[in-house]
Chains A and B, each alone.
Chain A
Amino acid sequence: MNAKLTMIATASMISLLSSGVASMAGDIVWARDGDIDSLDPQRATSTLSRQLWYQIYDSLLEFNDKGEVVPNLAKKWAVSPDGKEVVFTLNDGIKCHDGTPFDADDVKWTADRALSEENPSLTKASWGPVVAVDKVDKLTVKFTLSKPFGAFVPFMADEFTGMLCDSNAKSAGFGVSSAVGTGPWKFEKWTKGSEIVLARNQDYRNFGRPVENPGAPHSDRLIVRTMPEAQTRLAGLKTGELQVIVPPIQDVKDLQKNPDVDVHIAKSTGQNMFLEFTVHRPPFNDVRARQAVSYALDKDLALKIVFGDLVQRELCPVAQGVFGHDEEFCRKFGQPHDPEKAKELLGELGYGPSNPMKMVMATWPGDSREKVLQVFQNQLKQVGIDASIEVMDIGTLNARVKQENEKAEGPGFMDLMGWTWFDPDVLYLLWHSPGAYNGYTTPELDRLLEDTRTEVNPVARRAKVQEVFKVLLSEAVHVPVYTPGWLWIFAVSKKAPGFKIGPFDRPLFSDVKF
């Protein structure tokens, strides 16, 4: 009986171990620190998820290397003069991963699902005031909006509007065990917490992605592994087990000197790292207190100490490369490093050496953000501000900022936050009342933000967006610090050339060749 038991145990062990997916030559293995939340672009928002969706789904439009909107699944689009109708004409002959043709029905299914009443997309607000989605003919779709919405067209190039094939409706496991799109990689398998296996889409035709390859990717499979330990990812890259990794920041300098590794640093990610304050209680209900903190900080020096040249100083409330961004304009309204001015403002508020201002600074862990706050803590000390640091996971931080804004008591609270978007509409989501965190809002700012949504003439819209910048910066509501802020560095084996990061932090594997 013992022998029989041993046999059964051995057999089950062998079957267990053979169930893991071994990578083969011709596979690209990409290792990251965390897993996706969902395969469904309407059910999650994390960058880890977005970068994966981008491999499986294409959007109607794309961003070129300059960050401009270009055709993709849709070969052209037209906006009606009143800005309330947008018509897309699809490329003919595009196939879904399950072999069915991609047409207007798929677009309508995707949009209707995102906008549905009972279970809408998590990013429904970004679709804008869409009231109807109509199939005009097999390859033409019309979106009708209740009022003009300037950010609608670029949103059609985002991962959140990745086009789903309507055959997903028949699959109970859509988002978990199945995902049918039209992108360069077909979904094969997701082992939660462990890995995602994608296979080359043989039928792929590239209409807009910023890569050289016009068709299917060169490699057979793209395996995306979750490996939380940074040093293990680094070891895997060195041994050749992994081809693309998210490296530990402190090792980037060494990797840049390594002849076997290419380090790619994403530009124009849309990521904006900024400071914000709780404004409904002292001291930060007074603009002078917020400005004092901003004047006290030598942001350039802090970034140089923590990141070297891996990030850029950001002066505007939206990231470099985003519509409306203008460094010279923003410089006029922000607070440069001026500790004397900071002390003067603190003095006006009654703070001084015998009565230092106390505050809490918070952020979420990783990407050296804590270190930035440590340098800030020191700089604040020099003007007589006592700041403590709290680090918590991003979900808790988001909830905490909201809670702090609702509290009437307690020390001043400031957080180093990061938001990413390809359009200044991100400021509407953040600062139009009630605001993403119930923070600073005014009727005047609301009106300005509404104008940035409805104005479709680019010149006029730019002016409106910059008026918003002016309020946010001079009131020290949204104090920009740097860009990018997370998941922007990729270390790639030289044996797998062709990797590229497109604008807005989108990794492209179609050109990768062994």
Chain B
Amino acid sequence: MTKYLVTRIFAAIVTVWVTTIAVSMLIHVVPGDPVQIMYAQSQGTTPEQLENIRRSLGLDQPIVTQYFMYMKKLMHGDLGHTIRGEQPVMDLLLLHLPYTLLLAGTALVIAIAIGMPLGFIAAYKRGSWLDTSLMTAAILGVSMPSFWLGLILLFTFAVRLEWLPVAGSGIQNLVLPAITLGVANAAIIARLTRSSMIDIFDQDFIRTARAKGLPRATVLYRHALRAGLVPIVTMIGMQFTYMMGGAIVVENVFGWNGVGRMAIQAIFQRDYPLIQGFILMFAIIVVIVSVLMDLLYVRLDPRIRYR
């Protein structure tokens, strides 16, 4: 177990390290001169000023030197400053990240609360009309683009019924974006729960439990559900990271104050340091979540033992 843990964490560190290389090279893969692009809208910027800016960003150094400079700063928790040299990127990410985590977390709870019971019912009633209609609904849920669903919910609950506000970052504002993000993922969880449970229902140990006369509820919840949970939990971990990504779209629809909306603005303003910081932060979150999920997987399924 310890060895597995060490290997897993080592792999995670390597992943993050490779990301830092990719991120620090981002500025060089942009077609054209990045400084010229950043300052394209300023009239009358002289070549000398552009040269100064290039120097202050370290862009006049060889690429390898630039990478080491980037890493040195990164080790001190310094992700640089926004393009006009004003705000520390780290501060901005930390300011907006909690909103995105809150949104993705709430959406995940909604997705689980809807998806798991429905998937379970569909599996239990396999082949029935109920199963077919639930799975049809799930396909609809998966295929609906979240910005479209978001706008439908917005016009229904905020404009027509006036139950909820349109946009903002208060607790009432959380409801619609969390549902938007949760519904599509509920569909995925429902489908996964269904197939996982169907597998389990067919297994010998379930038949044995039934045969020895255990109450149906005990068989379903204690025996089947526990065993069926393993792949679902792993999937849910991945779902959480997808939701963080999906939050970018949803935040922009609902004006939610998260990192996603900030990232879109940063892209419009060609704020490279901020975009770099955003990508790196995202990669780290994905890596951490996947390590945690792997560990949980081991905890949940006693058959899995790594040596």
Contacts and interface: CB of A to CB of B under 8 A. Distances in A.
B40 A20 contact: no
B265 A35 contact: yes
30 contacts: A16-B98, A17-B169, A20-B173, A43-B84, A46-B41, A122-B42, A126-B43, A173-B86, A175-B86, A176-B87, A191-B257, A192-B87, A194-B96, A194-B169, A194-B255, A226-B265, A227-B255, A228-B265, A231-B154, A231-B253, A232-B151, A235-B167, A241-B165, A241-B166, A242-B166, A395-B40, A399-B40, A402-B36, A429-B43, A429-B44
Q: Specify which of A18, A37, A43, A225 lies most central, judged by the most chain B CB atoms within 10 Å of its CB.
A: A37
Interface in A178-196: 191-194
B270 interface: yes
A228 B252 contact: yes
A22 B168 contact: yes
B40 A192 contact: no
A236 B154 CA distance: 10
B170 A393 contact: no
A287 interface: no
Contact of B147 (A44, A122, A229): A229
Given A122-B43, A241-B166, A396-B40, 13 more contacts: A16-B98, A16-B99, A17-B169, A175-B84, A193-B261, A193-B265, A226-B261, A228-B265, A231-B154, A236-B167, A393-B270, A398-B40, A436-B43
B49 interface: yes
Nearest to B147: A229
Contacts of B87: 176, 192
Interface of A: 12-13, 16-18, 20, 22, 31, 34-35, 37-38, 43-46, 120, 122-126, 173, 175-176, 191-194, 225-229, 231-232, 235-236, 238-239, 241-242, 393-400, 402-403, 429, 436
B99 A399 contact: no
Interface in B268-299: 268-270
Nearest to A400: B32
Given A395-B270, A398-B41, A436-B43, A228 B261 contact: yes
Nearest to B36: A399
A124 B155 CA distance: 47
Given A191-B257, A399-B33, A38 B40 contact: no
Contact of B84 (A31, A44, A239, A399): A44
Contacts of B99: 16
A125 B43 contact: yes
Contacts of B257: 20, 191, 193-194
A301 to B, nearest CB: 31
B84 A191 contact: no
B38 A232 contact: no
Nearest to B253: A229
Contacts of A241: 165-168
Given A192-B87, A239-B159, A123 B43 contact: yes
Given A176-B87, A399-B37, A429-B44, A20 B92 contact: no
A100 B169 CA distance: 35
A45 B42 contact: yes
B102 interface: yes
Contacts of B171: 17
Contacts of A22: 168, 170
A157 to B, nearest CB: 17
Contacts of A43: 84
A280 B87 CA distance: 41
Residue among B43, B98, B155, B173 with most chain A CB within 10 A: B43
Contacts of B170: 17-18, 20, 22
Contacts of B261: 193-194, 226, 228
Interface string B12-32: 000000000000000000011
Contacts of A227: 167, 255
B151 A231 contact: yes
Interface in B81-123: 82, 84, 86-87, 92, 95-96, 98-99, 102
A235 B84 contact: no
A38 B41 CA distance: 14
A45 B32 contact: no
A239 B255 contact: no
Nearest to B48: A117
Nearest to A46: B41
A126 B44 CA distance: 8
A-B pairs with lowest CB-CB distance, top 7:
A125-B44, A398-B40, A193-B262, A122-B42, A20-B169, A176-B86, A236-B166
Which of B37, B87, B174 has the most C-beta atoms of chain A within 10 angstroms of its own C-beta? B37
Interface string B165-193: 11111110110000000000000000000
Contacts of B264: 193, 228
A126 B42 CA distance: 11
B236 interface: no
A15 to B, nearest CB: 10
Contact of A232 (B36, B39, B154): B154
B133 to A, nearest CB: 31
B45 interface: yes
B160 to A, nearest CB: 10
Contacts of B219: none
A400 B147 CA distance: 31
B66 to A, nearest CB: 21
B102 A192 contact: no
A429 B254 CA distance: 40
A232 B253 contact: yes
B199 interface: no
A238 B159 contact: yes
A238 B171 CA distance: 21
Which of B40, B155, B159 has the most A CB atoms < 10 Å from its CB?
Answer: B40
Contacts of B92: 192-193
A403 B32 contact: yes
Nearest to A124: B44
A484 to B, nearest CB: 17
A353 to B, nearest CB: 35
A226 B261 CA distance: 9
B41 A34 contact: no
B146 to A, nearest CB: 12
B266 interface: yes
Given A16-B102, A20-B168, A395-B37, A45 B86 contact: no
B59 to A, nearest CB: 15
B50 to A, nearest CB: 12
B162 interface: yes
Nearest to B252: A228
A289 to B, nearest CB: 25
A232 B42 contact: no
A122 B254 contact: no
A99 B125 CA distance: 74
Contacts of A393: 268, 270
A232 to B, nearest CB: 5
B233 interface: no
A394 B270 CA distance: 10
Contacts of B151: 229, 231-232
Contact of A239 (B43, B86, B158): B158
B166 A239 contact: yes
Nearest to B45: A122
B49 A232 contact: no
Nearest to B254: A232
A44 B158 CA distance: 36
Contacts of B32: 396, 399-400, 403
